[in-house]
Structure 1
């Protein structure tokens, strides 16, 4: 276990004022440690607000970190009804914003982290490295500064790096040129602007996760109201397979219900499905968009494309650190085998904390929350809460608490790894050990939290 509590005295820097970053700060405050939270946006939970119209899969009782709850209650906060399902906006306004307010001046907004390194050492230098504190480079309103930190917790998420349409992991030919016609945000059926953008027009939804299902339901709702609305669901996998989720077998009822609604929308004829389509190019033809696959198949006559193909971590500002990252998932190397989407698709992820999130080459740095999962598509918010509880215990030198990681994941009711995208099996049976549904799934495209 990495213990930095006996190293250089000073603050812990948390990057990101989202659900997991603010939870980390609450745990640090509770342990009497100095903390600064750096948030690029002008308000707390800036990323959550971008998908705020989406209702989460989990109840309020499952969406509040325990240390954050204790801090909030001490400030006079009134907890929302525990059995209600909030939207992203409601989560931000009723919990995350008050939590940031309770943390006070510890949270700095408009602060973009441009680099993290060992003070006076680039990644090549061995001599005296471990004894040096971290230098966190920050741009705030055009002013650059360096903060000194005893530890760094990166909870910046992945929302800012959506996956491209291109089937090989890079933007498809012409994708950037067609960027005004390609959105990476789930449509809001109640928003007049979205109703005007997608109503009476043809839209392709590219992706197979819960974000894509949420988009399909939203667009089918618009189709019911606006004649002439057409939706094409484009999947890379060879068949729909388990894309609708586990239905009644899902231990998060709201998540199962989403899959059932999407399945009905397809059955009712609101959505046309195209499978085995790996996009190679995006072309503008006489004012409409054409998607062309690697094998020459086309989806044409489109007005809009909604790309929900996952998200990726941005490690560019950590390039001078010696991170131990898995070569496939870009997740911490000890965590990666536990979350590999080629293997895990339901409640089979083992409990993990500071030990799995630590980097042997760089003690004191932790990637937490959605960023810790790298490119893995299914992250649970309370996984992040347990991560930061363990990480903060480790930073504080409480090794016993750090090692006691307890986490129960809800079964999705879906078998088979998400990485097996060519599988056409449509089984929806359960496959995991029964578990109490206490966690939410974040991943608008999961990465964003529309699949909560």
Structure 2
């Protein structure tokens, strides 16, 4: 890298947990960071789910370099054995960290594009000698062009939730019912939100921790508001791992989520509909009817909570040369390590700068966004990613390659592709990865609640 370029800051997109950790690790390596955050405060996306409790304890959601940066300010990490909510995480860790970084964090600054100075993605000549240009739109509407030596995209996937449609596209009618469809876990402590779901029949679409949480919340609401009922819609069948790892999960709070979802079904607060791939949302008076690709129609519901995962918005990086897996939209070296069609039980191998590198030198996508459409990301994975990347940018390749991380195993197995073909999930029948079998669950009398895949 030429001297003028080396003197430029490294731009970090996003002031969330991994973005701020990136800045801390860069500072530790003597590299100047500039964190650009579209929202008005640190952890803006985290604050959107401030009511949801993390299944990782404080000991696993504080980055070591960030803690070192905070220590001189008198900051004390909360009890490592307790579990923060999203609001706790933002208020007691992310915002203090951003405040410590001071003017190295800019709020109300939305990145609209990244390229090489004077080079679109086609041009080869002297490409790697050019700094990056980062186009931003400020809160007042003005536009600006910044220059950087490297770019770390930690912008996450929060703004791009997956649609209802089983084919990855919005179901017919989905876009015409935005007032009845939510893509977030509802905050039922908010009186207005509580009134929206109280006494109503709500479809919850999804099979991960967010769906578990929504089902548990609705079951709790049903105890105070008779008539509240959930319809849990899964694109795959049900087997021993559907409800996660339970007591065997090395993250106990995560296992408890699955057990709470199972209790919601077992106690009659929700029905389960399996093998249902939504193709249309039709209006039936004041209610909505979900239609599957096989022609099945469910009884009308009042509300829909779509928790079908998230996907990366790569449009701001369209002028850079990225090497992404065609399925997950994750870096090609990382994708095989996290592919839910192959990896069961949340097994993720340690990875760092090497697996996150692209043909475009010194640009990295990290955090949740680095996983593309894979659902198994944990905060400490992101912290290890940026530790390795900061070392690589500093030229310490030995430290960059020395990735040491042990992740807790989970009982959340595979993705839709795995369970579409039972032979792909053959096991000994005793673990969480055994071939699926359809179970009759649920007490409700609604039709189509126990079809298998």
TM-score, structure 1 as length reference: 0.92
Q: Find the counterpart in structure 2 of residue 441 from structure 1.
A: none
Give SS of 2:242's match: coil
> Is the partner of 1:298 in helix, strand or coil?
coil
Does structure 1 conserve the Cα–Cα contact (< 8 Å) formed by 2:241 and 2:432? no
Report the Cα distance in structure 1 between the residues aligned to 2:362 and 2:191, rounded to whole angstroms. 47
Instruction: State the structure with bigger RCO (CA 8 A, min sep 6), 1 or 2.
Output: 1
Aligned to 2:49: 51
CA shift in 2, pair 1:368/1:216, >3 Å = same
Aligned mates of 1:377, 1:419 — CA distance in 2: 13
Q: Is the 8 A contact 2:156 2:367 kept in 1?
A: yes
Deviation, structure 1 residue 171:
0.3
Task: Give 2:104's aligned residue.
Answer: 106
| Gapped regions of structure 2 (runs ≥ 5) | 435-453
Query: Structure 1 residues 4 and 46 mapped into 2: Cα distance closer, same or farther (>3 Å)?
Result: farther
Match among 429, 432, 437 for residue 431 of structure 2: 429
Distance 2:249 2:160 in 1: 29
Q: Is the 8 A contact 2:290 2:300 kept in 1?
A: no
Aligned counterpart, 2:444 = none
SS at match of 1:299: coil
Query: What is the CA distance between 1:268 and its match in structure 2?
Result: 0.7
Say yes or no: does 1:305 pair with 2:307.
Answer: no
* Cα distance change of structure 1 residues 5 and 363 upon mapping to structure 2, 3 Å threshold: farther
Alignment size in residue pairs: 429
Q: Any conservation in 1 of the 2:282–2:288 contact (CA below 8 Å)?
A: yes
Residues 204, 305 of structure 1: 8 Å contact kept: yes
Counting only pairs closer than 5 Å after superposition, residues 237-276 of structure 1 correspond to structure 2 as 237-239=236-238, 241-276=240-275
Task: Compute the displacement of 1:414 (Å).
Answer: 4.9
**Contact 1:187–1:219 under 8 Å retained in 2:** no
Q: Of the candidates 347, 370, 387, which is equivalent to residue 389 of structure 1?
A: 387
Q: Secondary structure at the match of 2:288?
A: strand
Partner of 1:182: 181
1:235 paired to 2:226: no
Q: In 2, are the aligned partners of 1:4 and 1:150 still within 8 Å (CA)?
A: no
Decide whether the 8 Å contact of 1:240 with 1:275 is kept in 2: no
Q: Within 5 Å, give how 1:116-131 maps onto structure 2.
A: 116-131=114-129
**What does the per-residue CA deviation read over 1:179-207, in whole Å, with 9 as the maximum and x for residues that have no partner?**
11100110223221221000001100001
Note if contact 1:39-1:111 (Cα within 8 Å) is conserved in structure 2.
yes
Partner of residue 279, structure 1: 278
Q: Contact (CA 8 Å) 2:243, 2:412: kept in 1 or not?
A: no
The aligned counterpart of 1:143 is: 142
* Conservation of the 8 A alpha-carbon contact between 1:389 and 1:402: yes
How many angstroms apart in 2 are the aligned matches of 1:346 and 1:14?
32
| Structure 2 counterpart SS, 1:152 | strand
Q: For residues 256-303 of structure 1, give each alpha carbon's deviation from its aligned partner in whole angstroms, at most 9, with x where no partner exists.
A: 111111111101111011111101111111111111111111123211
Q: Which moved more, 1:188-197 or 1:107-116?
A: 188-197
**Partner residue of 2:87?**
89
Cα offset for 1:238? 2.6
Structure 1 residue 153 and structure 2 residue 155: aligned?
A: no
Shift of 1:348: 2.4
Shift of 1:6: 9.6
**Runs of at least 5 residues in structure 1 that lack an aligned partner in the other structure:** 433-452
State the 1:79 CA deviation. 1.6
1:239–1:422 contact (8 Å) kept in structure 2 = no
Q: Structure 1 residues 347 and 168, CA, compared in 2 at 3 Å: closer, same or farther?
A: closer
- How much does 1:4 deviate? 8.9
In structure 2, distance between residues paired with 1:374 and 1:22: 20
Indicate conservation of the 8 Å contact 1:239/1:423, yes or no: no
**Which of 14, 25, 28 is matched with 2:23 structurally?**
25
Residue aligned with 2:179, SS? helix
